[in-house]
Chains A and B, each alone.
Chain A
């Protein structure tokens, strides 16, 4: 099947997409955007989180055909002109990255949280990130990164 969609602002036309293929597979296999990770194939880990028409989704659970005509944003699309997004910068500064395999998905989930809730409480952070497994950090530095990014996103301090 032929798929037409916008990925990170660029229109894309992709041929030879399988009817049972996931959006994640199309991103990684065809578009070579490997930022979204394949870690569980069943929506349990969040490592493949992307925006699909603005909604945070697990790309592994989206049939590629459903992405026709949509706008997809992956972690590669967050950094504008080579400058890290404030969420990405906060992950770097807070030490929220270890092996980093969960990081692209978590960066997307935190980005999604902070555009909905400017200064999230601990409860809001945990509920929003419940679907992103991290095996290395114990999540503490990730929560620090959210708090750091919240300050930055809202201009509370310049960090």
Chain B
């Protein structure tokens, strides 16, 4: 790759570039899914279960159907195809089929003239409920006498990793710990929405805010018994995702209603329905035992993980696998035994959320590292430095870290980052104290704490999943100017993918004007916008397609040169035919590159892009990008599980009113293993935003589920950080290119959210001296009113065969280990 191209075409890879959608978004013109409308449109509404576990003895929809303005009231029996869906397993009913397994499970859907009528109709549907004793505790779900929530039993997946000799290796110092995390919600600001329009060919066109268009299409087609070609999904404006839009929510419902009524149907969730209608981050219980030598070398890590998957599988199998593979942290550990179990309960289903199993274990293993450092009388960072992974290190799965792994550099930057200068107590604007304008402290009770955390996260899908992304790139002329067009099915969910793809095309094709088409299923699968993967996957596909376009232009230039030569020859000798001449065209000197509207061969301009494009059709190419293959687990939990890793370290500085237990994070220093920063502002935005979400899990965010009932499905009671809660985040990129990834990039979307919870809680421990083994930390915890959650010990390992998910996979594909 010639660097000249990068420097000459503005807005290419690595440059500060304004987002391509920013102007539309600041002016209010950008159309989000909830802004969609169509002529003759009906509005959909969903009746959801008020019970966590209940049998449905009957449903009487007569009154609802008779309400003026109602066009359809549909139940499970109205589904023409498969009645269930799911990312990893087809186990989740589209509409309850005689049984509900969680609070909020869809039971019936209505289409009506207005949202108000549709809502009213749902209140008129009479359901004869028979509540059943619910399983709402993840450990209770493992008991032999627990009600079996699915035919396969309550164990959704069990993973068992054995590395070295964990049961015999000795250590000088042992540290045991128990940790818990609560249910976090993605809480994207844009609630779920979409518009389904029935088509003349018997199919349906769906515009929806989603993360994975092709997975949606496959599940919709299957449930509607339509060929996939008749289900066309395109991306509507997405108001944030963070994992919440990876599973189906209203897609099948809206399409079903549209096909049955013959009218466009829009479904748009309110905030409460959004909380009830998507999966959450898994709550976890984690038991860890760390053994080390006196000089601070890790010898053994033993881990037992228990995750609550809720009522249905979603992506729980892959989340659990991720958590298990990361449970020992970004450290070299010669001996490890890691046992992970995710269970079915009657709690809301959990699935993908930013970090995908990694934040829970990072919270636990980093607390262990601090306690181990204290036991060894080492500085917490010194212990981490002594054990940090590096290129060539072997993970507990036996996987060798082949990519860049600048863990030491990350730690050292955090150690050296200047400490924030806090305004002195008793002399501040009230806004800057913990509690803000609540006026609780003017300096009384304040203590500062500092905490560190190091963590890592995989990029792209794992466990042997055939992970690919397709992109089509077309280069043509609009007027006199060359314009590149990019068409993929990769979802822009707010993170800035469209801008990154634009930058890739600018860099590869040397043109400034790039148009990114709306993502839809008329091009190949791009996979999910999740797992920190789209810069690598869709970016890699666009890069490859651009290079195919370039090669075709090289051929065109070669032909042109040959024709020019032929013309000269004809004038000189008038012997050779035109065809012979073209066939004999000389290859251009390598390397070829497109730069600033010119085709260069070995750095020498050979043709103007506009001339090449003017002489024939636009040049188009479709490319599919694949990362290096991975494998599943073998019987000992060994395997080349992940494609690539991103590491991060953070230092958090907090201020706690220790008498009141009111905390405020004052500063975060965030070092990120970025590989190559494609867009500096976008990169910082990912780190700052991911850190804020980790802060939420550390201090306030918990979906409260009591006896299976969600108690706080609103922004009044599910609290996300405000501008007074999130401090200055100072971001530092360590750029060591990852071999094999486009431009050497790494996925950075998730890793800040992996480490910041752990760093902030470590700082809270430093400020208060309390154990704080549960996230989110509450005021009661900070003042010692609630003792740290204790455990009588981990539940027994379930008696299940092997490493694979217990339930039978109906599809021939392997477990789509994502994350």
Contact = CB atoms under 8 A, between A and B. Distances in A.
Interface of A: 18, 28, 32-42, 44-45, 47, 74-76, 78-79, 84, 88-89, 91-95, 97-104, 107, 121-127, 129-143
Interface string B721-744: 011101011000000000000000
Given A130-B722, A133-B722, A95 B19 contact: yes
B724 A130 contact: yes
Contacts of A102: 189
Q: Which of A92, A97, A100, A102 has the most CB of B within 10 A?
A: A100
A104 B31 CA distance: 12
Given A79-B27, A100-B25, A139 B496 contact: no
A104 B190 contact: no
Contact of A98 (B496, B691, B723): B496
Interface stretch (B330-338, B380-388, B712-720, B775-783): B712-720
A37 B30 CA distance: 11
Nearest to A32: B37
Contacts of A33: 28
Contact of A84 (B23, B187, B682, B691): B23
A88 B190 contact: no
Nearest to A108: B28
A47 B35 contact: no
Contacts of A138: 685, 688-692, 726, 729
A84 B26 contact: yes
Contacts of A100: 21-22, 25-26, 30, 237, 239, 494
B792 interface: no
B495 interface: yes
CB-CB nearest 9 A-B residue pairs: A35-B28, A99-B494, A100-B25, A101-B239, A138-B688, A95-B681, A138-B692, A44-B715, A123-B429
B688 A141 contact: yes
Contacts of B187: 135
B685 A136 contact: yes
B117 to A, nearest CB: 12
Contacts of B240: 98-99, 101, 135-136
Nearest to B189: A101
B577 interface: no
A49 B282 CA distance: 34
Interface in B468-508: 493-496
Given A36-B28, A95-B19, A137 B689 contact: yes
Nearest to A89: B26
Contacts of A123: 429-432
Nearest to B191: A39
B32 A92 contact: no
A135 B28 contact: no
6 contacts: A38-B268, A42-B271, A99-B495, A100-B239, A125-B723, A127-B437
B648 interface: no
A95 B188 contact: no
Contact of B716 (A28, A42, A47): A42
A40 B271 contact: yes
A61 B242 CA distance: 28
B29 A35 contact: yes
A71 B724 CA distance: 31
A64 to B, nearest CB: 14
A76 B37 CA distance: 18
Contacts of B724: 126-127, 130
B181 interface: no
A109 to B, nearest CB: 10
Interface string B682-710: 10110011111100000000000000000
Interface residues of B, number: 62
A92 B729 contact: no
B723 A135 contact: no
Q: Which of A78, A91, A94, A137 has the most CB of B within 10 A?
A: A137
Nearest to B21: A100
B71 to A, nearest CB: 19
Q: Which of B26, B34, B187, B241 has the most CB of A within 10 A?
A: B26
Nearest to B493: A99
A92 B19 contact: yes
Contacts of B35: 28, 34
Nearest to B692: A138
B111 interface: no
A16 to B, nearest CB: 11
> Secondary structure of the B side of the interface?
loop
B710 to A, nearest CB: 16
B59 interface: no
B327 interface: no
B238 interface: yes
B576 interface: no
A38 B239 CA distance: 11
B18 interface: yes
Q: Which of B25, B240, B685, B688 has the most CB of A within 10 A?
A: B25
A41 B274 CA distance: 12
A130 B723 contact: yes
A142 B28 contact: no
Given A42-B714, A137-B685, 15 more contacts: A34-B32, A35-B29, A37-B32, A99-B189, A99-B239, A101-B32, A122-B432, A129-B723, A130-B722, A134-B723, A135-B186, A135-B242, A135-B689, A140-B688, A142-B723
Nearest to A105: B189
B795 interface: no
Nearest to B271: A40
Contacts of A104: 25-26, 28
A66 B507 CA distance: 54
B686 to A, nearest CB: 9
B18 A92 contact: yes
Contact of B26 (A107, A130, A133, A134): A107
A3 to B, nearest CB: 17
Contacts of A121: 429
B209 to A, nearest CB: 10
B275 to A, nearest CB: 11
Q: Which of B28, B190, B241, B432 has the most CB of A within 10 A?
A: B28
A140 B239 CA distance: 19
B270 interface: yes
A98 B494 contact: yes
Contact of B34 (A37, A40, A44, A129): A37
A100 to B, nearest CB: 3
Given A34-B31, A140-B728, A142-B723, A98 B689 contact: yes
Q: Which of B37, B495, B723 has the most CB of A within 10 A?
A: B723
B715 A42 contact: yes
A141 B496 CA distance: 14
Interface in B236-257: 237-242
Contact of A92 (B23, B116, B436): B23
A139 B19 contact: no
Given A38-B34, A39-B189, A97-B19, A103 B689 contact: no
A104 B720 CA distance: 19
Interface string B421-437: 00000000111100011
B617 to A, nearest CB: 35
A91 B190 contact: no
A76 B189 contact: no
Nearest to B17: A95
Nearest to B114: A29
Interface in B8-45: 18-19, 21-23, 25-32, 34-35, 37
B693 to A, nearest CB: 8
Nearest to A129: B723
A102 B722 CA distance: 12
